[in-house]
Structure 1
Amino acid sequence: MSLPAGLEKPLQRFYEYLRSERELSLHTQQNYKRQLTTLAEQLVALGVDNWQAVDAGWVRQLASKGMRDGLKASSLSMRLSALRSFFDYLVQQGVLKANPAKGVSAPRKARPLPKNLDVDEMDQLLSVDEDDPLAIRDRAMMELMYGAGLRLSELVSLDVKDVSLRKGDLRVIGKGDKERVVPFAGLAREWVGHWLKVRGQLAAAGEPGLFVSKLGQRISNRNVQKRMAEWGQKQAVSSHINPHKLRHSFATHMLESSGDLRAVQELLGHANLSTTQIYTHLDFQHLAQVYDEAHPRAKRNKR
């Protein structure tokens, strides 16, 4: 498409500026040109023939069109960034008084949902039947992370004195040094008990940490990550195992069973409920099935 002079000439001066003064790479120059040419063609289609006529409203229209066209948030952000740089140049040259794209931003990139293991995969991972102290320690750590929804840092920082097998609770120091008491029961409680019986075979004298390495000192974050990944492979679990996946599995399974978002928030130690909601992605097919089976209007339409 041939652009009107009011759009084309300033663009050509900007490209020369990028080449001779900014000395950007050819790849970056081509990317600027591609993005700005697309935007200029969209403006022509909207009846705009010069850059002075573009205000924040026009920029928002361009952003909306990008979204309607299916641009990813990252691609739209890159396009708007090119436009802001171009308008900064026009302001610098005295062509514009202000940058109309300054206050317009792309939608935030969607935060990827953490993955969880289903109940069968958790059973497969946790079916550790070896009886040497390191295997007992590892199963106790995994049972506790899944059974209490702990962060990796919370697990590693636990001291023996923080654990009450009799009461079935843990004193946990979370983010921001906030203390909370977390219940743990069943297999988590049973395997922490097994570990405490053999812990003395590994722990150095006077070491307060609940979980220790084979060197006798408090186990490190990296060691926990490494051991869990190894157990995932050894137990033939299809997905990569990491501590956060166990915490997320705890949150997802608790929510699916109870539906109590507030309680899960407390158990996870989240300050804001919105953080907990990110961890809770009930399968849509499951929700649709529940709806079809439960809603009277849904049932009525079935033949």
Structure 2
Amino acid sequence: MMPASQPPVVPIQLPRRRRGVTRRPLHRGHFGFLRAIVQGLHARAMWERYLLEEGEIEADAQLLADAVPDSDASPSIDPAARAFAAHPKVRRVTAWLRGELAAAALRANRPGLARRIKLDPKDFRRIGTPGAGLPSLEEFSAESGLDGFSESEQLAAYQEKYGDTLKRESRRARLMARQLEAIDWLEERYVQPVIAADACRAWLSAPLADRLEEAGIVTLADLLDRINGLGSGWTRSVRAVGAGKARMIEAFLDAHAESLGRAIGGHVAVPRRQRYAHELASVVPKSDSALVPLEKLVVPAALDGRDGSYRLPQARCLISAHNDYEAVLSWLRSKSGLAPEEVLRLRERRRDVGRSSGPYDWLQYLSHTQRAYRKEAERFLLWAVLERRKPLSSMNTDDCIAYRDFLGGPPAHWCAPRSRERWSPLWRPFEGPLDPRAQGYAITVLANLYRYLNDKGYLAGNPWGGIRAPRSAQPSLDAGRSFTAAQWAFICARLAELPTSSINQRLQVALPLLYATGLRLSEVVAAQTDDLEWLSLAGEDIGTTEDGWWLTVVGKGDKLRRVPVPDDVISRVVSYLQARGHSDGLAARGVALLGHATDQAERALWAKRDLADGGAPVAASTLYRQVKRFFTSCAADLRETNSRDADRLALASTHWMRHTHISHALAAGVPLQVAQQNAGHNSLDTTTVYVTTEDGRRIAAMRDFFRS
């Protein structure tokens, strides 16, 4: 009989583990596995059902060979099942579970319970069932010729023949029942739910936890974020964790989804190109206390600015915004956006067509300028709400200075790689500390935001007035971020040696196009066949003409300009268009000059076969990463022979092509005004920064002086 009063529950203390982990809790799967072992169920099936997070168990050939039936075992028991139960890992985990539960029972002043838990249940059997070694009463009566006798007489004969065996089996059944009762009693008091804040090491095997921690995955919340953020390929950044271990981890998380309060999203198993935008939008819920993108942020009522310190009466406001969030969106929407046809094309790419639109759907279809402005406003709003705990409309100059300092060193949990998309739980506002130039840009954008709110009668002042960026962040252009003629020649040589593939062919078109035109990244990915035009223009001499290809570009501030394109680059573009299936070449309408890879299915068998529209443009981020990887590869090839040039190539990006175009054009004698028009600069002063030939002559002259 159990005592009426229950002893106090004492947490299970486990042996000290590495890295300061002092305990490993028990979840319901541990109790389920031990209960199944007590009842003699197949150990492999029970292991895979309850304890797969302990690691998969391979069949042990030696154990299987040694698994011969003993004299006390039923011949119907599978030798492979016994071999699996005898596997060292299974025995070790089973012994650990019994030891922990026995220790818990002793701490609860239940020594009898502890003894029951330690009993070896391998020979527990139930009478009259296959594998027990005894015939049923009906079988015994038929074999003994007792069919015509009463049931009591049959039982008496049965007991006379199998009495000792029956007593032994009855005792085993009682012991099994009492042991199961002990496990049930301990489970009610000591089982712990698996929660997202728990360390992976608390639930997963030590070697597996080590590998996850090396990859920056410490808690189960981190693990869920990594899986939901990267999809089925989440293990690529984790050493020695393949598809099998990934399935095991995911099965463990699915089994405890209820106590975790979170689950692996259905999008994880869906190939990237088959995901719907609204499905991705549901991966991360809206939040008022987490680092989430602007469209997911819910500003608490106390911080939404309805009663901001510097708010003007709503009746004087020229915008319909009633809080700071709506005011920021009003400012963002006032900037030049995308054309309606471009929005429709993007909706088709995002697989959003046919779905009802929400009031903030326009945030998914922003122009380059709007995205850049959103990033700065988003960062400031998150900082104000989560760190400063003040509304935007209550910010004063001291707050703005504090934010300027914050930009120079945001905490690690505010930062993530650029590749983390906005729908992903791995997304963060920053990549890392901002350099002085980026800090200056952020201050300029935020000053613009507050100036807009002042002009519209929403706020009474601009706290950013008079705040200056660090001196090194004053507006300037680094003309040194360009390639020398020798470096560009080396890049061209490596470009020609690339293996044949669709993405390499795209790169072999993109770099010459960037070099010849000086386009910005956003401009080159937006360029279409419709923007190219052959023109015959009057030459300088009377009666002469100048023929050539021109590319119409919509640049910063929606400024329209035309840029000449050389014939050899046009030839590359035509060949590339034909390789993408556009046999008409430049006659094809509405086709992006730089598109998606067309051989993806051949290069990656797991990829979706029916790719996106062949006329759609490549994403700016995709082209940026491809160019960065190529320059990094060039730097590695050059490292042994010219380390200085290699260092420069390692730093290069797509924008270096724009600087190189202008610098090389001016050095070749192109008039300054022509270079300004091609680059789309507002002022000749901006273009003049790239005039390096005079500086080159100065350093050459001074070098002669230094030698003398």
TM-score by length of 1: 0.55
* CA distance 1:266–1:291, change in 2 (3 Å): farther
Alpha-carbon offset, residue 136 of structure 1: 1.3
Alpha-carbon offset, residue 262 of structure 1: 1.2
Query: Is 2:544 the partner of 1:163?
Result: no
Query: Aligned to 1:218, what secondary structure does the other structure show?
Result: coil
Choose from 617, 620, 627 the match for 1:221.
620
Query: Aligned to 1:181, what secondary structure does the other structure show?
Result: strand
Residue range with higher mean Cα deviation, 147-156 or 251-260: 251-260
Query: Aligned to 1:258, what secondary structure does the other structure show?
Result: coil
Give deviations 1:85-131, integer Å, cap 9, x for gaps.
xxxxxxxxxxxxxxxxx99x899535361410111211222232333
Residue range with higher mean Cα deviation, 254-263 or 162-171: 162-171
Alpha-carbon offset, residue 224 of structure 1: 1.1
Choose from 247, 270, 279 the match for 2:681.
270
Residue pairs, 1:32-111, within 5 angstroms: 108-109=471-472, 111=476
Alpha-carbon offset, residue 256 of structure 1: 0.9
Give the structure 2 partner of residue 124 of structure 1: 490
Kept after mapping to 1: 8 A contact 2:520/2:658: yes
Give the structure 2 partner of residue 231 of structure 1: 630
* CA distance 1:108–1:125, change in 2 (3 Å): same
Query: Is 2:533 the partner of 1:150?
Result: no
Instruction: Tell me the distance in 2 between the aligned counterparts of 1:135 and 1:175.
Output: 29
Alpha-carbon offset, residue 255 of structure 1: 0.7
* CA distance 1:117–1:283, change in 2 (3 Å): farther
Equivalent position amino acid for 1:177 in 2: D
Alpha-carbon offset, residue 275 of structure 1: 1.7
* CA distance 1:273–1:136, change in 2 (3 Å): same
* CA distance 1:198–1:165, change in 2 (3 Å): farther
* CA distance 1:223–1:291, change in 2 (3 Å): same
Query: Is 2:505 the partner of 1:136?
Result: yes
TM-score by length of 2: 0.25
How many residues in Structure 1 have an aligned counterpart in Structure 2? 197
Query: Aligned to 2:667, what secondary structure does the other structure show?
Result: helix
* CA distance 1:147–1:107, change in 2 (3 Å): same
Equivalent position amino acid for 1:143 in 2: P
Kept after mapping to 1: 8 A contact 2:529/2:590: no
Give the structure 2 partner of residue 210 of structure 1: 593
More relative contact order in 1 or in 2 (CA 8 Å, sep 6+)?
A: 1
Which one has the largest radius of gyration?
2
Instruction: Tell me the distance in 1 between the aligned counterparts of 2:522 and 2:622.
Output: 12
Give deviations 1:230-261, integer Å, cap 9, x for gaps.
11133336223311100100000111111621
* CA distance 1:168–1:221, change in 2 (3 Å): same
Equivalent position amino acid for 1:262 in 2: Q
Instruction: Tell me the distance in 2 between the aligned counterparts of 1:206 and 1:285.
Output: 45
* CA distance 1:134–1:165, change in 2 (3 Å): farther
Choose from 268, 276, 280 the match for 2:691.
280
Alpha-carbon offset, residue 172 of structure 1: 1.0
* CA distance 1:262–1:112, change in 2 (3 Å): closer
Give the structure 2 partner of residue 243 of structure 1: 654
* CA distance 1:146–1:291, change in 2 (3 Å): same
Query: Is 2:666 the partner of 1:255?
Result: yes
Instruction: Tell me the distance in 1 between the aligned counterparts of 2:631 and 2:700.
Output: 32
* CA distance 1:211–1:112, change in 2 (3 Å): closer
Instruction: Tell me the distance in 2 between the aligned counterparts of 1:288 and 1:242.
Output: 27
Alpha-carbon offset, residue 186 of structure 1: 4.8
Alpha-carbon offset, residue 185 of structure 1: 0.8
Kept after mapping to 2: 8 A contact 1:145/1:155: yes
* CA distance 1:285–1:145, change in 2 (3 Å): closer
Alpha-carbon offset, residue 164 of structure 1: 3.6
Instruction: Tell me the distance in 2 between the aligned counterparts of 1:152 and 1:244.
Output: 7
Instruction: Tell me the distance in 1 between the aligned counterparts of 2:511 and 2:595.
Output: 14
Alpha-carbon offset, residue 292 of structure 1: 11
Kept after mapping to 1: 8 A contact 2:624/2:654: yes
* CA distance 1:208–1:189, change in 2 (3 Å): closer
Query: Aligned to 2:577, what secondary structure does the other structure show?
Result: helix
Alpha-carbon offset, residue 207 of structure 1: 6.2
* CA distance 1:208–1:106, change in 2 (3 Å): closer
In structure 1, the gaps of 5 or more residues are 1-23, 29-72, 75-101
Equivalent position amino acid for 1:121 in 2: Q
* CA distance 1:186–1:206, change in 2 (3 Å): closer
Equivalent position amino acid for 2:528 in 1: D
* CA distance 1:132–1:165, change in 2 (3 Å): farther
* CA distance 1:165–1:211, change in 2 (3 Å): farther
Give the structure 2 partner of residue 185 of structure 1: 566
Kept after mapping to 2: 8 A contact 1:210/1:218: yes
Instruction: Tell me the distance in 2 between the aligned counterparts of 1:228 and 1:169.
Output: 24
In structure 2, the gaps of 5 or more residues are 1-397, 403-435, 438-464, 536-547, 583-587, 598-611, 639-645
Kept after mapping to 2: 8 A contact 1:207/1:218: no
Instruction: Tell me the distance in 2 between the aligned counterparts of 1:282 and 1:107.
Output: 30
Instruction: Tell me the distance in 2 between the aligned counterparts of 1:173 and 1:282.
Output: 30
Alpha-carbon offset, residue 146 of structure 1: 0.5
Kept after mapping to 2: 8 A contact 1:165/1:189: no
Residue range with higher mean Cα deviation, 245-254 or 213-222: 213-222
Alpha-carbon offset, residue 266 of structure 1: 0.8
Give the structure 2 partner of residue 113 of structure 1: 478
Query: RMSD of the TM alignment (CA)?
Result: 3.8
Alpha-carbon offset, residue 154 of structure 1: 0.8
Query: Aligned to 2:581, what secondary structure does the other structure show?
Result: helix
Instruction: Tell me the distance in 2 between the aligned counterparts of 1:106 and 1:270.
Output: 23
Query: Aligned to 1:168, what secondary structure does the other structure show?
Result: strand
